Structure 1
Amino acid sequence: MNQGAEMHLVERYQPQLMNQGAEMHLVECYQPQFMNQGAEMHLVERYQPQSMNQDAEMHLVEHYQPQSMNQGAEMHLVECYQPQLMNQGAEMHLVECYQPQLMNQGAEMHLSKLRLSQSS
C-alpha cells in the first residue's frame, strides 16, 4: 500500500476526492522529501489558482528559499499582484532595504523628478 496504489484507488473509485488535500497527504506520507516549493506551487496552481496570490508566493519563497527573498523577488511580487503599490515609497523601501549603497544623490534626484512629474 504505497503512494501509487493509494492514488490509483482514489482516482478510480473516488475521483472527486483527488484534490489538493489528498495529493498533499499522499506526498507528505510517502515522499516528504518532495514536499518542496515546486510541489506546493503545483498543487496550489492546480487546485486553487485563485489562491496563488502575493501572500502565497511570498510564503513559499520565505519557507523554502529565504535567501531568495531579495529586492528582485519583492519587486516581482508587487508588480505582479499589486502594481498600484509600485510607487515611490515602495521603490525607496526596497532600495533602502536591499541596496542602501544605491540610495545616493542620483537616486534621490531621480525620485524627486518622478514626484514632480506625478504631481503636475
Structure 2
Amino acid sequence: MTNILLSRAILNQPHIYEKAKDYIKSTDRVAVLAFSFFPKDYLSQASYDLDFEKGGEYYEKIVNSFLPYGILEEHIEWVHYFKDDHGSAVKKLGNANIIYFPGGAPDLMMKRIQEFDL
C-alpha cells in the first residue's frame, strides 16, 4: 500500500505531479471521503452540496487534481456525508484503489468514520 500525505489539494502542481505520477495511474479509481468539515460551515445538506457536489469549490479542486494523471471524473466517487450510509460508503471505498481525505477537521472526520462504522 502506498500513502501520500499532502497538506492541500495540490496533486496537479508540476512539482508534485513529477513525484506522484509513479504512484497514481490513469486506471485508478478514487473515493473521496468528504467527512472532514466543521458543522458551522455545513448546517444542512444544501450547504454541503454547494462545495462537494459538481460545480462546488472543493469538488472542482479535487477532481482537477487528478486530471493530469488521466483519471476521468467518472472514476472519482464521493462518499457524501448526508446522502450515503454505511453500505453505500463501503461499496464506494471498496471500488477505489485511492482514498482521498480532504483536510479540515480531522478529529471530526474520525468521529464520522466511526459513526458510519467504516
Larger strand fraction of residues: 2
TM-score, normalised via structure 1 length: 0.24
The structure that is helix-richer by fraction is: 1
